[in-house]
Amino acid sequence: MCGIIGIASSNPINHVLISALKGLQHRGQQAAGVATMDGNLMHLKKELGLVKEVISEFDLTYLRGNIGIGHVRYPTAGEANDPEQAHPFYVNSPFGMMVAHNGNLNNSALLRNDVLKKNHRHVRTRSDSEILTNVFAFELEQLTTNQELNNDKIFAAITNLHSRITGAYAVVSLIADYALVGFRDPFGIRPLILGKKVEANGTITYLLSSESCAIEINGFEIIRDIKPGEGVIVTKDGKLETRMCHANPQLHICIFEYVYLARPDSIIENVTVQLARRNMGKYLAEQIRNLNLEIDVVIPVPDTSRTIAVEVADTLKKPYREGFVKNHFTGRTFMLSSQEERKIAVRNKLNPVAVEFRDKNVLLVDDSIVRGTTSKEIINIIRSCGAKNVYIASAAPQVRFPNVYGIDMPTHNELIAYNRSDEEICQVIGADKVIFQTLDNLKKSITDINPELSNFDASCFDGKYITGNIDDKYLNSLLKVDWN
């Protein structure tokens, strides 16, 4: 899970580019980077850190141009603390290109060999995104040898790229002195949405983003989601063209976007995330009602689960209380790279309001339980405050399988639900009862809002990998890779 931004305008874009990228900060807090294009000049700034730490006022003085892209990184593959793996990536052939990528490639080992030995291109890092950059550049080079660049050739290069790459990818790219380019994988696993703003001089500024929140907070109007397998080009003179670049696209949006990854004010595939989370709470409450638990108070694990917990409390007609004061400067613990880091971060991030727990039967509501580290620490905190019983309800089903499409769930031995029953999970995290949402009800939470969404990537819950190239050999190979 990373965040990408692309913008093309007749006006300077550095300030709005940074503003939009800050709107996606929740999607990645390990590194940030932006690239701008001023004719055939390209400017780049990327480092480890948050957007506000990486991009200074001084940087804005040289990040000039009317077209730009940005990226916030949360590492799923490669070395987490290597600044070279921050995006965008740059190649100078065939035209000078910058690329930023959200997702994860599943055939990167094979592609790396092809890029080096067959395409004769050098790859400097272990990042699959740098491999994608070079594959795109090579396909474009093959189509433009001794020929002029045009939109047809770019769309053809995207089509060829789709035939070589498997996995999840939403991409924005700059091609020097020509255009902003964006495209989405043929299954639409990772989101990408297009917006526009009519400027005072009558021209249109276009904005591509991982989420609609970054579009709306900057005064843009949402146009639509980019379709699976679709490419979009905005040329330097402001002309927009889109084209389907795959013969058989199928939409399988990642269901975890709605559970945790996206901001509640975002709209993904015509589903407002806030409304989907309300529905999750209603369906979850009905499951809890059937258990006849004695519940005195419903308390969320902040922040994502607040909306869900409110609906649980309303449906069950139980008091809703805020039981934790959250330090918002510590980042999202799910994104930290080690169990020990996550354990320490929970204590630094959440401080209990003891009076809300003392002598009470507590129903704790969380969006999901992945590794169990956070849940175990929080339950320990609650018990130290004098709670009688602690029940924990998850708005998502049991995470039993690795996610290989861009979320940091790479190995099954890290997942608390792997090869464990609900009773065993309950024992490990120290709860008196654990309740998981069913996958059918999670899907209904979303399809109740948009019935046209019939398929999802829910592989971390059901083990069904929609790209079709994930087998036991591949999953076992993840155990041998230094994932971060």
Residue with token string 């409390």:
313
Peptide bond before residue 451 is cis, with ω within 30 degrees of 0: no
Alpha helices in 51-149 (DSSP H): 51-54, 57-62, 108-117, 128-144
Q: How far apart are CA 329 and CA 331, in angstroms?
A: 6
> Element (H or E) spanning 22, and its range?
helix 14-22
CA pair distance 59, 41, nearest whole angstrom: 15
DSSP secondary structure code for residue 98 in this structure: E
**Contact of 465 with 404, CB cutoff 8 Å:** yes
Residue 435 gets the label, from left (phi > 0), alpha (psi -120 to 50) or beta, of beta
Residue 371 in tokens: 């590794």
How far apart CA 170 and CA 168 sit, in angstroms, is 7
d(CA 392, CA 385): 16
Catalytic, 2? Answer yes
Which parts of 34-127 fold into alpha helices (H)?
A: 51-54, 57-62, 108-117
Contact 464, 458 (CB under 8 A): yes
Q: Which of 2, 245, 426, 460 is catalytic?
A: 2
Please state whether beta strands 41-48 and 230-235 pair in parallel, antiparallel, or not at all (unpaired). Answer: unpaired
Catalytic residue numbers, as ranges: 2
